[in-house]
Amino acid sequence: MNVITTMAYRQIRRFTRARSRIIGTILHPIIWITFFGLGWSRALNFPEAKALFGGVDYLTYLVPGIVAITIFTTSFMSGMSVIIDKDYGFLKEILVAPVSRSKAIFGRILGDSTTSILRGIIILLMCAFITHINILGVIPVLIIGVLLAFTFSSIGISFALKMNNLEGFGLVMNMITLPLMFLSGAFYPISSLPIWIRIFAYINPLTYAVDGMRYFLIGKSQFPIVMDFGILSVLCVVFLSIGMYLFEKATIE
């Protein structure tokens, strides 16, 4: 267990020591809420629009999506630190160290997921003062956040293990994150999408995290909550296993 806690602690310390990352963590969702949420909330402040968003104002509808997106993007970005560790030689030291590779990468994913969830908690607490969310739903929302964070931390690290430069990873990240965000139901109901696009939303892991969080925070969802938890749990196990397998087979030239 020592290698797991050591790797997790390292990732958490890397985050807490980087003030720019902490500031960016807080400012990025605030920008979404202020310039996107507040603006559209006023523009969509009429009965027909509220009916589309389940009877709540748009800002309240948006909050679960922003929390999920915060956890999603920061988890996926964890792959960048893997590439940095490749450049500085730290990853090679881990690969040749007399410790379990599976435990080492699990500890790393645990640390990255923890920082992602902390960011989600900060945003959730901030939004609790300006929207009408159910604060009692925070605990199950955090459980969903854990599943989401582990899933995309594993995906991000899996991509990074196959890449050698930050530019390439950044390009892949932009190509993946934007479609997943807009096809997750975070900004508008999936039911409002054309049927052929809706298919892509249904295979998007982020969709079920947003839906589950929305269920517990505002009492609205498009899928059964058991379905949200079930799909996220399966995907978490699958991608975590893939990430651990790839790290077991990884070589650094």
Q: Give the ranges where 18-137 is alpha helix by DSSP (H).
A: 19-31, 38-43, 47-52, 58-76, 78-88, 90-96, 101-128
Task: Write down the pLDDT at residue 76.
Answer: 86
Task: Write down the pLDDT at residue 235.
Answer: 93
Task: Write down the pLDDT at residue 237.
Answer: 94
- Which residues are CB-neighbours of 9 under 8 A, at least 6 positions away? 111
Instruction: Report the Cα 37 to chain-centroid distance in Å.
Output: 19
**Amino acid at the residue 241:** S
Task: Write down the pLDDT at residue 208.
Answer: 94
pLDDT tens string 9-41 = 888 887 777 677 667 767 777 777 777 777 777
Task: Write down the pLDDT at residue 1.
Answer: 54
- CA–CA distance, 53 with 198 (Å, rounded to integer): 17
- What percentage of residues in the chain have a pLDDT greater than 70? 92
Domain total for the chain? 1
Residue 11, domain extent? 2-249
Model confidence at 252, pLDDT cuts 50, 70, 90, reads low
pLDDT tens string 205-237 = 999 999 999 999 988 888 999 999 999 999 999
pLDDT tens string 72-83 = 988 888 877 787
Distances (CA, A) of 8 to 3, 71, 206: 8, 17, 24
- CA–CA distance, 231 with 200 (Å, rounded to integer): 15
Task: Write down the pLDDT at residue 202.
Answer: 92
- Which tokens belong to 202? 């249904």
pLDDT tens string 146-157 = 999 999 999 988
